[in-house]
Amino acid sequence: GAGVSQSPSNKVTEKGKDVELRCDPISGHTALYWYRQSLGQGLEFLIYFQGNSAPDKSGLPSDRFSAERTGGSVSTLTIQRTQQEDSAVYLCASSPRATSGGITDTQYFGPGTRLTVL
Amino acid sequence: QKEVEQNSGPLSVPEGAIASLNCTYSDRVSQSFFWYRQYSGKSPELIMSIYSNGDKEDGRFTAQLNKASQYVSLLIRDSQPSDSATYLCAVRASGGSYIPTFGRGTSLIVHP
C-alpha cells in the first residue's frame, strides 16, 4: 500500500522567506510526527498529532515554527522567516493509534524534505 | 531529560561476521524499543521492535533487551555489504507520551 509521502522533496529558499512542508500519512494512521535531522545528527522531535487531541508542540525550536493537521490526515509544517540554521531534512512519520501496551506504535517514515536556506 | 546513547562508530566488520550494535537509555519506565536502519540520504526504516526482556529474532537480525541494565542491542548475523548504514535506536516510555526518543545512530560498515 501507499506509504507516507512528503512534498516537496527539496526546497531551497532565501533567508527570511516562509516555507511550507507537506506530509500525507498512511491512510488510517491517527498519529503523525514531525522531526528534523541535520547532517550527521540524530532525529530531533518537533511536533506530534494524535487524532483530534491537542498537538504536542514541545519540540518546536521557536515560534517561527508551526504545524497543523487538517481533517486528521494531511499535515503542513510552516517555518516563518527562515534562518540558515533551519537547513535540515524534515521527516514526517505516521503510526497507528497505540494500544495500551504500546504494541502498535511503530512509526513509518516518509522520504523527507531537504530544506536549504541560503 | 530522557537520553538514548549510541556509539557513533563507524563500526567496521568483515562480510559474513556478526555485527553488534548497542544502545543504552536513561528512562527506567521505557516500554517500547525500536531499531531503525537509515541508508545515506534516505529516511529511517524499521528493522526490529522489542517490548519484553530477552531476545527476539527475525531472519539475520536479533534484538536483545535487558531492562534491568537499561540496554538494548541489535545483532546482525552473516553481515552483508548491503547492511552498511546508520542504525538508530529509539525508546518510548509507557504512559501518555507516544513520542520516542532517538539515539544519534551507529554507522556500520561491512567490507567485502
Average pLDDT, whole number, for chain A?
90
Most A CBs within 10 Å, among B1, B31, B43, to test the A interface: B43
Nearest CB among A41, A48, A106 relative to B104 is that of A41
Handedness of CA A103, B25, A42, B107 (dihedral sign): negative
The predicted-structure confidence for B39-58, as pLDDT tens digits, reads as follows 998 999 999 999 899 999 99
Nearest CB among B43, B101, B105 relative to A111 is that of B43
Most B CBs within 10 Å, among A9, A43, A58, to test the B interface: A43
The predicted-structure confidence for A39-84, as pLDDT tens digits, reads as follows 877 899 999 998 888 899 999 999 999 999 988 799 999 999 999 9
Angle made by CA atoms B105, A116, A41, in degrees to the nearest 5: 10
Say which residues have a Cβ less than 8 Å from residue A12's Cβ, sequence separation at least 6: A116, A118
Q: Which residues of A touch B43 (CB under 8 A)?
A: 91, 109-112
Spacing of C-alpha A33 from chain mean position: 5
What distances in angstroms separate CA A102 from CA A109, B40, B56, one per listed residue? Answer: 18, 29, 17
